[in-house]
Amino acid sequence: MSKHGLILLGGLVIGGVFAGPAAAGDLFRVNVIKCGVPGTTGDCGFFPPSSIPLVEGEVRANDKGEVRVDLKGAAPDTTYKIYVGSFAIGDGFFQRYPDAAPIRNIGTVTTNAKGDFEGAITTSLGAEFVFPAGTSLAQPNFVFTFPVGGSEQAVYTTGFAVIAR
């Protein structure tokens, strides 16, 4: 390898070490995706594909347990309940936090007139949701539900989707 090739390789390695995707203090950072993205299966269990819009979204949790949600281009002036758990492919939802049963949400987020939201999850008591110190969750999904009739439908979850363009 030439001297210039080694310098370039060294620069790439150093740049890779210092350029991380998550902000300082973020322990968890993941995209929010629509349920039933074409070409995927089981991303929201038995719930049907979501007809509720979403341009992009993200959930972040930091080393203090604080959770931040960003939604862009979601349904305007809409309140979403948020649950933490996982889906079995083609099956139901299994709550992972605060405990296994009964299923209950950790709080809500409400979009503005543009369908955007940026901030903390609000609990039913009006406080900011924070995971307590010592909380450990392997492979959690944050699930956003939308009221349909007298029940709720999962419309967004966390993960990633590669969509053909």
pTM of the predicted model, to two decimals?
0.77
Residue 127: predicted pLDDT: 98
**Where do the domains of the chain lie, and which CATH numbers do they carry?**
26-159 (2.60.40)
Residue 26: predicted pLDDT: 76
Average pLDDT over residues 64-68: 94
Of residues 31, 66, 42, the one with CA closest to residue 154: 42
Q: Phi and psi of 100, rounded to 5°?
A: -75, -30
Residue for token digits 């363009």? Answer: 165
86-144 pLDDT, tens per residue?
A: 877 666 777 878 776 667 899 999 999 999 999 999 999 999 999 998 888 777 789 99
User: In angstroms, rounded to a whole number, what is the distance separating the alpha carbons of residues 148 and 120?
Assistant: 24
CA-to-CA dists, residue 37 to 31, 86, 119, angstroms: 13, 17, 25
